[in-house]
Amino acid sequence: MLFCYHCGMALSEKSYCTSCGASVGRYKKILYMSNNYYNRGLAKAQIRDLTGAAEDLRQSLKLYKRNTQARNLLGLVYFEMGETINAMAEWILSQHFQPDKNIATDYIETLKTNVVLLDTINSSIKKYNQALNLCKQGNLDVAKITLKRVVSINPRLISAHLLLALVLMNEEDYAAAKKELILVRRIDRGNITAALYMRMADENLNTDSKKKTNKKENAVTIQSGNDIIIQPNTRKENTFFNIFLNVFIGLVIGLLVGWFVLGPIRVKLQKTDENKELSRAYEEINLKNTKIEELNQLNQNLTSQYESLKDQVNAYEGANGAFEGYKYLMMAVKEYSKGEAADKNVIAEYLEKVDDNGSDKLKETEFLEVYNILKEFIGESVADTYYENGYNAFRQEDYVTALENFKKAIEYNSENVEAHYYLACTYLANKDYDNAKYYFNVVMNLAPDTELGNKASNYIAEIDAN
């Protein structure tokens, strides 16, 4: 059943709300499309096409962000793929849009109470980031050992399996890489990256098998009782020159004309041996030249493959580069989930650490929404605390501390007239007349016909007079 976005009453088949008269034709189409994408995502998730399911569910939420069923399912898909931070973000947003009778609350509580699982997830993510940095530094041996530990303690972390497969392919251990990719496909059948790596591994394995087949064809198998003897096939066809030489030597031996014939024959045989040695030398030179060309080509291929792998490893940095910021954001969310018992000052401290680690790294819409929701939740309370600290510092003539606290108070509540006023007074005490005048003007705009507004006007007149 659909409900009116304006009055909340149940909608009928008509294109307008029978209760308030609001036009709901397009609204109903958007909801139907959102539900359609949700159904597609659910079907793909049931056959473990997690990548395809995530794409459809994200599209569903783009159309209607309050579709809590789609958001909860997207969180489950993320959790199954080992992306626990993304899963928690989706469930928290779902809980914000639908506080009551929401299964996302159970998901969050389950994670919060399972301390062992949380420690395992955090440990695996830290080790994965260490392995990623080791790969970027070229220390692939240690990275491989670290990644094997990661996948052993967190088998669902798809990004770790893929990175381990890349490292193994770089070492030309394509069989082991294929095993990791098979594990990825068992978790997510629709993972395009795993399919691409699988094709690369299969191509290289097929090349190796062809080489082994060619070696077997160049051998001769002999059955001796119950034993099988394999000898290299070195038999050469007789040439006309060899036949003629054999006949000539036989005739010379048969004639036995005397020792005067043996001398020229000996010389001729000696020259023949020298020619054979010279021929072998030429053959060895040709073989070495061919080998050098093959090694040069192999070197070029390895260089190209290394550059490709390097680019692919760099592509994994993504959201993991902002891990510290995400960590403090999730700690703020954990405090927020306590409800009325939540300490807003603690949440403010975590958000400041998010800012210190670069809040601009929170590129994903879900994390920005969580960040803004938390900031709005603590706004007025934290602003009052910063204002009181700033006011006490101002009275003690500690203008540096006062300046920092008044700025924070304005950041959390831009309509706090007193904070603007005393921030201007602090700038005036520091003889920063431009900033003082600017904030006095803000006070006049916010409270033009009040005592503080009149005082601000008088201060501006004094600054202009000087």
Phi, psi of 11 (to 5 degrees): -95, 150
- Going from the N-terminus, what domains does the chain have, and what CATH number goes with each? 25-113 (1.25.40.10), 118-208 (1.25.40.10), 364-465 (1.25.40.10)
* Torsion angle in degrees (nearest 10) through CA of 210, 213, 218, 221: 180
CB 143 within 8 A of CB 167: yes
3-state secondary structure of 225: coil
Tens place of pLDDT per residue across the chain (466 aa) = 577 766 767 777 777 777 777 777 787 788 889 999 999 999 999 999 999 999 999 999 999 898 999 999 999 999 998 888 888 899 999 999 898 889 999 998 888 888 888 888 888 888 889 888 989 988 888 888 999 998 898 898 898 899 998 999 898 888 888 898 899 889 988 888 889 988 988 888 887 665 555 554 455 454 444 455 555 554 444 566 677 677 777 776 766 655 555 555 566 666 666 667 776 776 777 677 777 776 677 556 545 654 654 554 454 444 444 456 667 777 777 777 776 677 777 877 777 777 766 555 555 545 677 777 777 777 777 888 888 999 999 999 899 999 999 998 888 888 888 989 999 999 988 889 899 999 999 999 988 888 888 888 888 888 888 7
pTM, two decimal places: 0.50
- Report the sign of the C-alpha dihedral through residues 133, 139, 142, 148, in that order: positive
Plot region of 142 (φ>0 → left; ψ -120 to 50 → alpha; else → beta)? alpha
As to burial, measured by CB atoms within 10 angstroms (0-12 exposed, 13-18 middle, 19+ buried), residue 154 is buried
Token pair belonging to 88: 């928690």
Go through 451-465 and write b for each residue having 16 or more CB atoms within 10 A of its CB, e for each that does not.
Answer: ebbebbeebbeeeee
